Structure 1
Amino acid sequence: MANLLLRRAVLDAIRVPVCARASSSLGEVAKIGNREWVGYGFNGQPNYMDRPDFPLPAVRFRADTPDVKVLREKEKGDWRKLTLEEKKALYRASFCQTFAEFQAPTGEWKGVLGWSLAVASLAVWIYMGMKLFVYGPLPETLSDERQKAQLKRMLDLKMNPVDGLASKWDYENNRWK
């Protein structure tokens, strides 16, 4: 029992409350201004981001204005007494967009596809220009006659007879196996 109480006392002494975390560094306070830090967030930092995988941001989207403070007090009572506009105002004070708004398709893929096709066509034009103006003619050794002569010479010399090209030629019948 004493061990449990000692452990509890040590954990309480080490534990830092949320409000102390917000004021622990000036950068975090400057980042959130007078917005309310309402939770841990997706990484423990006081930032706001609409994310479908973690829908609870660490801070509210908007700073507390007198109008929002009045609505927050009214919110503590019966929600049926709130009008639809007041509920929407409360939601917009905490969140920037709804799930439907931030998951809606933006059409950004059209621009990406257009630019990638433009870059691909530019690459094709550069290749055609290089082939036309920079590269010389192919060497004579790549002509069909020269390649056939080279193949015949390789077979006559029996190059790589174990597992190479000569192993696939039938020397008795003069044809491929």
Structure 2
Amino acid sequence: MAGRLLFSSLRQVQKLQKACIHGRSRIGNREVVGFGYNGQCSYQDRIDFPMPAIRFKESTSDIVALREKEKGDWRKLTLEEKKALYRASFCMTFSEINAPTGEWKSILGIACLFISLGLWIVVLEKFFVYKDLPPSFSEESKKAQLKRMIDLRVNPIEGISSKYDYEKGEWKK
């Protein structure tokens, strides 16, 4: 008895959850016309999946009358009625979806702002954070250090000393 009561209460909870997630409470009076993207009752204007699960607008008396008239000869419909039927089912046309939005301008502007901010930080660090280079980084000091390494024959097998000809006193070619 308790198991049956628990099972029936779980079934009611599932029905409530299903109604809240996929039911009429979320889509209102809009007509479900297909499976949709991923089987959800939602509307999205997508190029890769052009058939949404529900219509864009809720059914009103005008739209219902146009849908009844639509079932007959389409040549009897005016251009405005055809457009109204289309706009009741879809929000945008393919050309409206593909139209440029100009969003790239703001993205480029923000990217340039961050790049310039980074460059200013590098320049300010160079002036205020980093100290002057030690004297061992000068050209004369580097040449003297290289001469000392050759004189001491540092790493004569694969290193700098292996590339120096001691008999001629010059670099090997």
Q: Match of 2:120, as an amino acid? A: W
Matched, 1:70 2:65: yes
Which is worse superposed, 82-91 or 149-158?
149-158
Of 138, 154, 175 in structure 1, the residue corresponding to residue 171 of structure 2 is: 175
Instruction: Report the CA distance between 1:65 and its aligned residue.
Output: 1.0
- Once residues 111 and 43 of structure 2 are traced to their aligned partners in structure 1, the CA distance between those partners, rounded to angstroms, is 32
1:121 aligns with 2:116: yes
Residue 130 of structure 1 is matched in structure 2 by: 125
Within the candidate set 153, 161, 165, 1:158 is matched to 153
Q: SS of 1:47's equivalent? A: coil
Task: Provide, for residues 71-92 of structure 1, a one-character-per-residue CA deviation record: whole Å limited to 9, x for no partner.
Answer: 1111111111111000000000
Structure 1 residues 146, 60: closer, same or farther in 2, change over 3 A?
same
| Aligned with residue 51 of structure 1, among 46, 52, 57 | 46
Deviates more, 1:110-119 or 1:25-34: 25-34
Secondary structure of the structure 2 residue equivalent to 1:120: helix
With 146-155 and 80-89 compared, the bigger mean Cα shift is at 146-155
CA distance in 1, matches of 2:160, 2:56: 72
Question: For the residues of structure 2 that align with 1:52 and 1:158, how far apart are their CA atoms?
Answer: 71
In 2, distance between residues paired with 1:147 and 1:72? Answer: 88
Letter in 1 for 2:72: G
Match of 2:22 in 1: 28
Which region of structure 1 is more displaced relative to structure 2, 146-155 or 58-67? 146-155
Q: TM-score of the superposition, structure 2-length normalised?
A: 0.81
Closer/same/farther in 2, CA of residues 54 and 168 from structure 1, 3 Å limit: farther
Long gaps (5+) in structure 1: 1-20
Aligned equivalent of 2:10: none
| RMSD of aligned Cα (Å) | 2.0
Sequence identity, in percent?
58
- Measured in 1, the distance between the counterparts of 2:43 and 2:65 equals 23
4+ long deviations beyond 6 Å: none
- Against the structure 1 CA distance between its residues 131 and 73, is the aligned structure 2 distance closer, same or farther, given a 3 Å change threshold? same
What is the TM-score of this pair, normalised by structure 1?
Answer: 0.79
Given the superposition, is the C-alpha separation of residues 131 and 77 from structure 1 closer, same or farther in structure 2, using an over 3 Å criterion? same
CA distance in 1, matches of 2:132, 2:122: 15
Provide Cα deviations, 1:46-79, integer angstroms capped at 9, x if missing partner: 1111111111111111111111111111111111
Range with bigger deviation, 86-95 or 122-131: 122-131
2: CA distance between counterparts of 1:52 and 1:82? 27
Shift of 1:176: 4.1
